[in-house]
Amino acid sequence: MQDLEIAKKRLNEKGLALSIVKNGKIIFEAASNGISGFLEAIEKFGDELEGASVTDRVTGKAIALLCVYAKVKKVYAIILSKAAKSVFEEYAVYYEWKNLVENILNADRTGICPFEKLAKEISDPKSAYRRLETLQKSLGHGRGKQMSGKREQFISEEDRELKRIREIKLQEFMERKLEMSTQPAHITDSNFNEIVNKHPLALIDFWAEWCAPCRALAPTIEELASEYSGKAFIGKLDVDENPETAELFQVLSIPTLIIMKGGKEVDRIVGCVQKGHIQAALKKHMGQ
């Protein structure tokens, strides 16, 4: 199996954000989105990254410049910015992508990612590495959850909390032995517009099978589908199978819950949250 295919498989099966493979061996992996993982890989392995294959969930110009600086051979991105695409073409780096977007937004989607803002004015890969690393330190970005070729796994506090929430939710779900009269509907790229325009109020769960927090939230979504039957439409959209809608709404992190009213987005909840938080949001928009 080629290096890029190995990295792709790891990205999907393990729910990673970054995977770097060379000569059939996993060099570096990271589970958290952002530029910190790639910067750490460069810091740790330096010249060893030359000729490697990289898969990355979200690749903007900043990471594209770092790929060129590290002399990687091939890149695959689930979300690729047009600026990153131009960098790869300029430096003749082989690349593939699943979704092409105009810009990479920051975590709360209020503007362009700060690293992308900086990269916009940089053309030299070496300069990009120095300046992006400086920006990362100035912003106080911590290291994400990384895994080396030795399969060492470092579980963050956030991951532990998600696991705890999942166990609690699953236990509550089993204890109550809820028999759902209504299940969340399956939403696709082809029927999304029809559904959200048909229903006055709709909550769409953007998820993926490999996403542990998504699976942790699933029992809650099923409960909501039953409780809000006749009041609000509850549906689920697999972002891997339906990338067009996920790209249209700039869904960069999952699970993401989007509340639609009259066919337009009125609210967004990101992450595995408590049921009450979702109910409060629905109640707010039901009352408007």
- Residue 185's DSSP bridge partners are 235
Domain boundaries, the chain: 3-148, 157-286
Q: What is the pTM of this model?
A: 0.54
To the nearest 5 percent, what fractions of the chain are helix, strand and coil? 45, 25, 30
Cα-Cα-Cα-Cα torsion 26, 122, 110, 146, nearest 10 degrees, comes to 20
Q: Where are the alpha helices (DSSP H) in the chain?
A: 3-14, 36-45, 61-70, 82-90, 114-119, 125-139, 157-176, 192-198, 212-227, 243-248, 275-286
Tell me which of 67, 113, 211, 272 is the catalytic residue: 211
pLDDT, one tens digit for every residue, the chain (288 residues): 599 999 999 988 887 889 999 999 999 998 877 788 899 999 999 999 999 999 999 999 999 999 999 999 999 999 999 999 999 999 999 999 988 888 888 766 677 888 999 999 899 999 999 999 888 887 764 444 444 443 334 444 445 556 666 666 665 554 443 333 357 889 999 999 988 988 899 999 999 999 999 999 999 999 999 888 888 999 999 999 999 999 889 998 999 999 999 889 999 999 999 999 999 999 998 865
Q: According to the model, what pLDDT value does residue 141 have?
A: 47
CATH fold match for the domains 3-148 and 157-286: no
SS3 call for 19: strand
Active site annotation includes 214: yes
Tell me which of 67, 113, 214, 272 is the catalytic residue: 214
Q: According to the model, what pLDDT value does residue 61 have?
A: 95
CB crowding 108-125: b at 16 or more within 10 Å, else e: eeeebbbbbbbbeebeeb
CB 151, CB 27: distance < 8 Å: no
Class of domain 157-286: alpha beta
Q: According to the model, what pLDDT value does residue 126 have?
A: 92
Q: Using the 8-state DSSP alphabet, how is residue 112 labeled?
A: B
Domain 3-148 has CATH 3.40.140.30: yes
